[in-house]
Structure 1
């Protein structure tokens, strides 16, 4: 079986139909929409790894189904363990001409088919399942639907090892530069993490305009740049120009290459930012110990969804409100409060839990709460809270929980140690990466620009 670290998936071909089905007491008639053809990869053997579960597995594109009258068409990607689709499960749905799936979603289907990545488990780690596409006009089909041919996919689940989520551990490599940490003068390098492939590492970082390189152990003994700006690693090579944004960086030491791609997950909706009209989405941070993405956030009464890169290309809701992520699914109702939201692409689930959300407050940020909510920090490991990038002005700040003065920390002595109810912390205008370690009683305000 050919092994792949990034999936191509689900080959679906020209639609042909020869049956009818009953749904909600409506008898649907099959129809063959002219020109309804899928375009994607031609692979039929796939290796799935938990370490890359949040990666985009595949985008499926097709020519619109034509049911004979101008109308919107809904498309459902369905999976089946039995192969006859009596157990059909909707993997994702959309009204556009593409469906995106993460590797974690694909692993979830494989595990439903009885596969297991645990080497000590009696369950197999190789097997197969079936997929097809359903199309129908409008929101209900009005008695008309269409199905593609069935495709059988052969898959293998990679063994999970190590102590992190899916065997993931911090690597010795990091991101350094004016685009990240003022060449090491403003805190540690951006962390890379191990993957299921030896000598391939991944980092999730927010950059500013500037330049970066990759170096080992936060020192200038072993580093890579890119002399030709061609994606090739060069030992001691030229700085790499970057623009502000949130990225996933893949560093392949064995192949001598690297790749940077726009990559972020966020909370969007009337329950947070007026569906994007009142600022950027609530940013998720990566937690390698659980291989999940988390955000500490203040919500208001309303609805939310989760989307990638602050745009409506890849988004998840929850059709059925069962804690399962559904591509393009229904909005999720929320009540006002402070929460930690976790996205788990390994099993295609999410959780919204009421919790204390620590934030930055002060004349140096939001006029002590009079000019908007505090800058929220996310608990990325137990009692360790992180946030970037905070835009501060000349003034003073403190840390408090839940936008309230019931619990707060300052720094009496200006020694980097948090003190309950302590003195205000003086700051100067600039961009900061913020870290609050409640367990060890310390904090960092790393000014990167």
Structure 2
């Protein structure tokens, strides 16, 4: 009995000693001084590109923060657009090291998120936050450096096409897309009912609303676009159209496009297109076609003026005048040609 009581007494002493040690450590844990970013140097610059997404976009080192006693420290690299005073900082990396590397793809997304413009050099500010414990306490911040970043975008510029056919709502209107960032050669395929419509550009945040720059016809209805004293554009016939607009040359065009499939693999061979039917629910052309093994393409209006084939540039979209497509096995296929996403034209063949 005495041995048990003695063991309990010793355990209590040990536990109390450990508790005192923990309390003493917490009591004397106090940040001492400041810490600084060592590299890069304020004013250094980087140009980012989509072709090298895994390359380092930012390699950062900093001095260790001193909390007065050895302890585990968490560091968080934060950025914000220069001049925003870190009112809404974006956390890039959390680490226990005194260094961090951020790949180009991640830095690009972060830079655009805090407000930098793609393909234009802009300044971000970088700082490192230190803290100890869980939850974090004793937060301290390093000095702030300025880093010049030229980000990129893989999103294609867009125009909205609101009109009577969809209750004049720019936010929900079909879009046209330019061929690349910085280009103004907008294109898309839209089912238009007889009536009027316009073209609406996005605001700086990418939203489509009335009050943004909008374009219409100059009044001659000869394909001339204007954003001054314009009148609504119009079509007199309900049809599926290839719609194109160029806000630099100020021109636009409307071409009816009834789509079909053509080629050695199709019932009509290379001489006659087998028509597909527009499905307003899926916004795609569809059909059940008896096909044989062989090559084929898609074309509009039973002619070769507008035709789509393979994707040799591997950008996820069928190309105009692209290489022949092919099917390996004969059978009855459900064919879908989807042109609803501008400049991202796709198709599927599903064996019935």
TM-score range for the pair, normalised by the shorter chain length: 0.3 to 0.5
> Which TM-score applies when normalising by structure 1?
0.30
> Which TM-score applies when normalising by structure 2?
0.37
Q: Which has the larger radius of gyration?
A: 2
Greater fraction of residues in helix = 2
